[in-house]
Amino acid sequence: MTGPRGTGGTGGTGGPGGRGLPEEAYAAALASVPRVGPATLRLLLATDAPSVAWSRSSFPGDVARIWQRHEEKGIEVCWHGGPGYPARLENDPDAPAVLFCQGDPEAVRTHPTVALVGTRSPTRYGIGVAAQFGADLAALGVSVVSGLALGIDGAAHEGATASGAPPIAVVAGGLDDPYPRRNARLWARVAEQGAVYSESPAGVRTEKWRFPVRNRLLAMLSDVVVVVESRHRGGALYTVEAAAARGIPVGAVPGSIRSPTSEGTNRLLADGCFPVCGVDDILTALALRGVLLPAGTAAAADEGSHSGSAPSGGYAGPDRALFEALSNDPVSLDHLARVTGLDLPALCGGLERLARDGVARDIGGWWERT
């Protein structure tokens, strides 16, 4: 089923040292051929196992070397119809033929999923909302799906990596080269707690055309899609189109009519998407689809939000710096950013995690220790 743990295999040499390679190796090799796009890959694997498709294609390439690259990076590989392929994708006519994963491939099977997407250039309002929704949904047992991009995506996952349901990311380039670099640490946290998926094999650059392709996979892996902030022609609308084509509910967070970053979301609301003014609106959309929260998560989240103060020794890294920067006197986000050196998505994500633990609270945009 997987990269490092794959053991099955059939014929074909695939270059030097290619005998006895698992099917996953040939799937990775087919996906690595430069002129083979998603549609061609689906055709190649529609009726044949990867090793057979490779043998018939006569493509150049060293299968063993390609496989080694994925094994060394801990990248799992699965193909449509093979073991380990996400059940959510199996019946979609546009599903990727080969999928790569860092983390736990089972993460996407275990919880309801909600995509939180939006602009790479959000307002402070949008970052705060994305981080809050990410933290609240994860605590309630809902996996947050996003693209690990700058802006709304990163803020959503900053909140979601606190605790609870495993976060799910879908990226455009190869999993051996985190993009953007600024989110490399966040990428590692998501892979450690959940899973990072891509249709691109290791060694593939993050090219512009891969982002719209990535966005359709975001929709496929989600029970509900929520756009937090988007410009009128923002990239998040590709995810909206893919969701709408599949009957997946799409919600949007209302914003100021004077804000360019809310032009897209306000237009979505005018077009009939459901308004998202809080996490309860997302939970309602899940319930209307018949998607239920894991048993006990709501009670556990409520208990955690009233758990009282935790010692600073219980936190590490950025969360510890934030905890120590807070006091009983409310301070602004600008002050916390100067004291801790954190950028805004990391700052908002950390504050939402502290708020979830019951040790910090927001008072009209100012924060204090409880």
Q: Angle CA(73)–CA(206)–CA(190) in degrees, nearest 5? A: 50
| pLDDT tens digit sequence for 263-307 | 999 999 999 999 999 999 999 999 999 998 876 554 444 444 444
pLDDT at 10 over 70: no
Comparison of pLDDT for 370 and 104, the residue scoring more: 104
Domains and their CATH numbers in the chain: 20-103 (no CATH), 107-172+209-302 (3.40.50.450), 318-369 (1.10.10.10)
| pLDDT tens digit sequence for 179-211 | 888 999 999 999 999 999 999 999 887 777 778
Whole-structure pTM over 0.95, yes or no? no
Give the least confident one: 76-80, 212-216, 356-360.
Answer: 356-360
Comparison of pLDDT for 275 and 18, the residue scoring more: 275
